Every structure is written in structure tokens, then in C-alpha cells.
Structure 1
Amino acid sequence: MYTVVKDLHSYWAYLVVFMVVIGAFNALVKFFGKKEYGNNDFRIALFTLIVTHIQLLIGLVLYFTSPLGLNSIITNGMGGLTSYMRLLAVEHPFVAILAVVFITIGYSKHKKKLSSTGKFKPLAIFYTIGMLLILSRIPWSNWI
């Protein structure tokens, strides 16, 4: 089961990164370009929210079933972790949760606004923060 969840988490991450970049870029371009908020903008924002939440759920399952997640901390203690083990057991999960929280806040705030500028502003701010957080803690050595 561990390898299935790990592979799912790894491959789903490509979709997450793609959608978060598209969502943040779309919101930034349309906010600064003073464009109207439309159905496609809603779909992009919602799909970005959905794929990040699914990734979070897969990641939580992986965290508790992986030897590199919680089991690594239990086995070695926080002081016994190498930098790579700390990235996988502490930094990556913590920052990923923060990124999903920021994306969720941005989506929630944008729903309450009535104007296009008011809708794009929270999406641009919070989706960009989420994107930067996600990109900062991807274990790139596993990806490349």
C-alpha cells in the first residue's frame, strides 16, 4: 500500500504544481489587467482548490504510513534526522499544510467579493503565497 500511495502522491503533485501555477498566474494577470471575472476563472480557482485538498489527504495518508514520515521521527528523534529526513518528515508536510491553508483562505475570501477586482485580489495574493510555499519545499531530488 505504501508504494501505491507514494506513487499517487508523487504523480498527483505534477497536477497540483501545474494547477497552482495556472491559478496564481491567472489571478495575477487578470487582477493587474483589470479583467472581468468569468466562469473559467471560477473553474480554475475551484479546480486548484480541489486538487490541492486531494493532495493534502494523500499526503497525510503517506505521512502516517511511510517510513520517512512520522515513523522516521519516532525512530530517530528530531535530533537524529538528517537534513533530507527532516525535509520529508517535518518541513515538507508542515509547509504543504500551510500552502493548502493559504489557498483555501484565498478561495473563501474571493467568494464573498462582488467585483472582479475584489475577486481576483485574494486569489492573486493567497494562491501566489501557496504556490511559493509549495515550490519551496518540494523534494526536488526525488522529482528530477
Structure 2
Amino acid sequence: MRFPRLPLDDELEIRNLFARYGHLADAGDPGFIDLFTEDATWTRENSPPASMGGSGLPPETIGRAQLGELMTEVMRKKFRQRMHHQFTDFYVEPGASADDALGHARALITDWRDGPGKFSMFGKYTVRFARTSDGWRIRSASVYVLPDGQ
């Protein structure tokens, strides 16, 4: 069975872009926002509240400026750069046009704030990429926490 695929250069650029997502987010690096389009969205589909082990993040963040504020408040201040994403099973497929692509990944998030790392969350990421004048960028990212409790 053959699956639809992107030109190799596009796929490599997208894979590199997405790999940086985890590294920059975990570091609370301000360069995180450069991975996104100006109007990007970041959605937590079913994230439980902090009282039930969730991140306590809002359901949706819209725009690069808000993503930057979220990185400062959450990754630097709340999580103190001690939460880490490990992405796996990433694949990308063509979207509706040559400037659109859709990626899928699984993510294990570990929490190192209280010493040795412990499992914090497992989620399914869906990421829409857009080709811009600066190369591929993330147009939207959503995470669905597994299991969903239903």
C-alpha cells in the first residue's frame, strides 16, 4: 500500500520544524513563536483541569503573540522548564494544496519538577502546516489527551 506523500524537501523541512517544537517549548525559548504563522491556533481538545492532573492551560490559544505569552507564563514560570515532550510516530501527509500539509504524532510528556521524572500526560497531536514566504510554519496544533476518560 502506498500513502500520499510530500516532496522530500518539504517533508524534511516540516519534520525539522516539528522537532524544534518540543525542544523550544520545553526550554521556554522565545523562538518557539517563530515556528507558527501569525494567526496560528493551539488547541487542547480535552485537557483535564489542573485539579485532575491536567496542565490547567486554556482550551485554545490564538496568534503568535499569545503563544509567546503562554510560553513565558507556563513553561518558564509554572513548569520552570522541567516538563518535557517526547514525540513519536510522527508522519506528515499532503493537505488540500501544495502549500498545506497535515502531521500526526503521539506525545509523552514527563514532569521533572519534583526530582526524578514521572509520567504526566500522553496525547495525540494533529498539526496543520502552511508554506509561507519564510518556509513551512505551524498553522494549527491540537492535542487530544489519551485516554480520554470515556
Instruction: Establish whether TM, by shorter chain, passes 0.5.
Output: no
Select the structure that is richer in strand.
Answer: 2
Give the TM-score normalised by structure 1. 0.29
Bigger helix fraction: 1
CA radius of gyration, larger in: 1
